[in-house]
Copies of this chain bind each other. A is one copy, B any other.
Amino acid sequence: MKLENTRSLGAEIVTYDRFTESREEIARALAASLGAVLVPSFDDPHVIAGQGTAGLEIMEQASELGVRIRQVLVCCGGGGLVAGIATAIKATDPSIDIHSVEPEAFDDTARSLRSGRRETVDRGARSICDALLAPSPGELTFPINQRLLTSGLVVRDDQVRDAMRFAFGSMKLVIEPGGAVALAAILGGIAPSCEEASVIVVSGANVDPQLYADILHSS
């Protein structure tokens, strides 16, 4: 689905082996040979700032609705989206808790927040959350998340599947696995319970139709 959608926008696609090659190195070499500008997926101040606008929107909408937010849960791969959102929200209201949410096998941010240094995941780690497979927190994103995040939560793939089925049946939204982890953390009782509002960031819906059908079938 992602290959197809990207190709349909006119892109030339270069595939790589996630487990033995570095996409950052491949991209740098390509950019150098083509004279192109590299736009990183998360470890870049402008990318983080751009993703932070989601945090501004959350605060604006909560204010319009008169809702008091207790915590915000954000899916986390390299940590750019949660770093941007945390920056925007903490600047407005430092009392709001921000939690990253990762797949169980890719809990590098959760462990890094606890240990205080950038941890990496096992080579053999696997998850259906193909948007969240970054092997370690970013150089730029981690210091931000270390300063602003309350904790790093993790969810199992079966909780992600449950969340996707819930979104299908009750929210009528198609969500990809990586986009469903924050919802999974709430539904699975992983997130702290609270009296005031929890905000869940649901982001990404590039899910393969066959995988999606299989997840629905197994309900």
Contacts and interface: CB of A to CB of B under 8 A. Distances in A.
A15 interface: no
A4 to B, nearest CB: 9
Contacts of A214: 213
Contacts of A173: 172-174
B209 A165 contact: yes
A1 interface: yes
Contact of A169 (B165, B209, B219): B209
Interface in A178-202: none
A210 B174 CA distance: 15
A168 to B, nearest CB: 6
B174 A168 contact: yes
A197 to B, nearest CB: 23
A216 B205 contact: no
A158 B213 CA distance: 18
Contacts of A172: 173-175, 205
A3 B172 CA distance: 16
Of the candidates A169, A175, A205, the one having the most CB atoms from chain B within 10 angstroms of its own CB is A169
A210 B216 contact: yes
A217 interface: yes
A172 B168 CA distance: 10
Interface of A: 1, 5, 165, 168-169, 172-175, 205, 209-210, 212-214, 216-217, 219
Given A172-B174, A174-B174, A216-B216, 5 more contacts: A5-B169, A168-B174, A212-B213, A213-B214, A213-B217
